[in-house]
Amino acid sequence: MFQGFEWGKALSTTLIITLLGMAWVLLQALILRLLRGRLQPSTHQMVRKGLGYTGFVVLALVVLDTLGVNLSAALGAAGIVGIAVGFAAQTSISNIISGFFLLSEKTFSPGDVINTGEASGVVISIDLLSIKIRTFDNTYVRIPNETIIKSKLVNVTRFPIRRLDLRLTVAYEEDLDHVFEVLRQIIRDNRFALANPEPFLQIDQWGIWGVELVVGVWFEKTDLLALRNSLMSEFHRGFRQQGIRIPFPPSSFPGGPQ
Amino acid sequence: MIKSTPPLGPWDWVVPEEGEWVSWNLDGAEVAIQAEGNRWHWWSKSRKPHEVRRDFGGPRRGSVSPCGRMHTTIARREPVALRPMIMARPFVVRVTEPVPIHRGEEVRFPVDLPVSYHWVNQDGETLAHPQTIELPRTWFGDPSSGMGCFLWEVDLEDPAQGPFGSLVRCEVVLRNLSKAALVLQHFAIHTERLGLWLRDGLLVTDIVVVEGLADGALRMTTVNNPESRAGQNLEEAPKGPTEWMVQRGVSFLKTIAGIT
């Protein structure tokens, strides 16, 4: 069964694998330790994976060489295979290169909320081929890096504060100074609205049903829903209390009261 | 770290009788707690800054009419006490009547800041954290950096001003070491380096020194207040340097402090 088996070669191969493996693990640990804190976690993870794959390939080549496999012929064949695989793997390679661009641009990082043409959600990871996001209705979406590079991307949580723009319409009969004063008071009293930067109030246009206003309120990025819900209900309540009319299209029903 | 002894006035340890409410008045806010077996019910009525009025007392046993949302927490039946804590966020203090400070001059004034409250047991564990004040928020910096702050308005000219039981008195020293006069409209108080003390029944902090420097930067320092430190320590200031340059939002600070 073991006829022709060379114990010496097997032993030296095992020894080489062990030593090279240990050396590579140590070198990898050293490089990763040096890079820790200097790279973003996602880049760090990608470098770790890259080092792992490189080590595996180097180790495999050394082992084959030790076992007496003719590497030049193998590498020549690999070159031809590589061209074929290259054609077949264009998309994957494009995704990998796009991944490097994504990481170098630092447009977003895990934990950010992004909005692409494909989906919106929280970034879970940025990997070699794709990014993974968790949408707000709790689905898991994989978007290829190439798609991200090619399309428009909005990082919603890049800056610590944001502005919420709300559009309101009031009847033409209303005193706009009074309306603005009511709005300012409501914003001042809202616990999620920031006093600085100051909110802005703007008359947007003369609409079909009334005067259209834009109210821009600054808030800390985590408070979007709380601010939006509280402001909308407080505007509604404030307008009712002050007798400010919100116009709506008249409607009539066939057979209904005249 | 809150030290549990000796008990003083509103900060007394109290064990409610079964089903009995115990309440505190906190200058316009109200908090109450009731034990039912291992279940503690509590509620709080918060106030807005302009609703702060002198009405401080407790703990008071007896029936109360709970208002607002009722909360429940599960804990062993044992003595509890209400304890004040310094707010974690910095304050941007807005002065209602701006005060000009000429170069080389120094102005010294007290500011009464709100604190948060919690009920603790004798192991120092927090049972509940009632909300007692609704503070408006503001931003310390530009829209791409900085930090969230509470906005607090003070009237330095108010002759009726005096210490409130539920607020903490913070002595502020503002020195204008710059080459130009500044108009004091706003200034920031970083609470992270302030210790909290109880002296003669009043809450006091360390002294805050803000210096407008010749190059236009602002330097803030926390100085131990020997008078405060003669009292009971409720919250120790974190160890570390007590002086630091405000790195972030310097341009904002210069703007709000009127340094040009």
Judge whether A138 is closer than 8 Å to chain B, CB to CB.
no
Which residues in chain A have Cβ-Cβ distances shorter than 8 Å to B150? Answer: none
A192 touching B (Cβ < 8 Å): yes
pTM equals: 0.72
What pLDDT is stored for residue B44 in this prediction?
A: 94
| Under 8 Å between Cβ of B220 and B209 | yes
| Cis peptide bond prior to B66, omega within 30° of 0 | no
User: A73 pLDDT exceeds 50?
Assistant: yes
| Residue linked to tokens 């080092």 | A51
Distance of residue B188 Cα from the nearest chain A Cα, in angstroms: 13
Contacting residues of A for B136, CB less than 8 Å apart: 188-189, 191, 193, 195
Instruction: Note whether A195 contacts B136, CB cutoff 8 Å.
Output: yes
Chain B residues 69-108 within an 8 A CB cutoff of chain A: 92
- A212-223 average pLDDT score: 94
Q: Which long-range contacts (CB under 8 A, 24 or more apart) does A18-24 make?
A: A20/A58, A20/A59, A20/A62, A21/A55, A21/A59, A24/A55, A24/A58, A24/A59
Rounded CA gap, B137 and A226, in Å? 14
Query: Do the Cβ atoms of A191 and B137 come within 8 Å?
Result: yes
- What is the pLDDT at residue A139? 95
Q: Which residue of A has its CA nearest to B136?
A: A191
What per-residue confidence (pLDDT) applies to A213? 96
DSSP SS3 for A211: strand
Whole-number average pLDDT of chain A = 85
How many Å apart are CA A199 and CA A194, to the nearest integer?
8
Q: Do A192 and B137 touch (CB under 8 A)?
A: yes
Helix H or strand E encompassing A52: helix A41-66
What is the pLDDT averaged over residues A83-97? 79
B139 touches chain A (CB under 8 A): yes
Residue B245: predicted pLDDT:
42
Longest dimension (CA), chain B: 66
The single residue listed with the structure tokens 């595996």 is A56
Tell me which chain A residue has its CA closest to the CA of residue B148: A220
A residues 33-92 closer than 8 Å to B (CB): none
The single-letter code of the amino acid at B47 is R
Rounded to an integer, the average pLDDT of A51-59 is: 81
Residues in chain A within 8 Å Cβ distance of B48: 189
Q: Is B248 on the interface with A (CB under 8 A)?
A: no
Query: For A102-141, what is each residue's pLDDT tens digit?
Result: 888 888 989 999 998 878 999 998 888 899 999 999 999 9
Q: What is the tens place of the pLDDT at every residue in B35-59?
A: 998 999 999 999 999 899 999 988 9
Would you say residue A1 has pLDDT above 50?
Answer: no
Provide the token pair at A217: 């309120």
CA dihedral A33, A34, A36, A42 (to 10 degrees): -100
Which of B139, B142, B152, B187 is the best residue to mutate to test the A interface, defined by the most A CB atoms within 10 Å of its own CB?
A: B139
pLDDT at B159: 54
Closest partner CB to A220 (pick from B92, B144, B148): B148
Q: Comparing C-alpha atoms, which of B139, B177, B164, B221 is closest to residue B27?
A: B164
pLDDT in tens, A4-25: 567 777 787 788 888 888 888 8
CA B145 centroid distance within chain:
25
Any idea which residue has 């001003």 for tokens? B161
The ipTM (two decimal places) reads 0.72
Q: Per-residue DSSP letters for A119-183?
A: -EEEEEEE-SSEEEEEETTS-EEEEEHHHHHHS-EEETTSSSEEEEEEEEEE-TTS-HHHHHHHH
Please determine, for residue A64, whether its predicted confidence score (pLDDT) is greater than 80: no
Residue A226 above 80 pLDDT?
A: yes
User: For A194, which of B48, B138, B145 is closest by C-beta distance?
Assistant: B138
Residues B131-151 as b or e (16 or more Cβ within 10 Å = b): ebbebbbbbbbeeeebbbbbb
Q: In angstroms, what separates the C-alpha of A111 from chain B's closest C-alpha? A: 17
Count other Cβ atoms within 10 Å, centred on residue A4.
4
Pair of tokens at residue B186: 């706003």
pLDDT surpassing 80 at residue A28: yes
Angle between helices A41-66 and A7-35 (to 10 degrees): 160
Q: Is A53 helix (H, G, I), strand (E, B) or coil?
A: helix
In chain B (260 residues long), the average pLDDT of successive 10-residue segments reads: 54 87 92 92 92 89 80 90 91 86 89 94 92 90 80 77 85 87 82 86 88 74 75 76 46 50
Q: Do B137 and A188 touch (CB under 8 A)?
A: no
* Better-predicted residue by pLDDT, B207 or A250: B207
Comparing CB atoms, the residue among B134, B143, B151 nearest residue A195 is B151
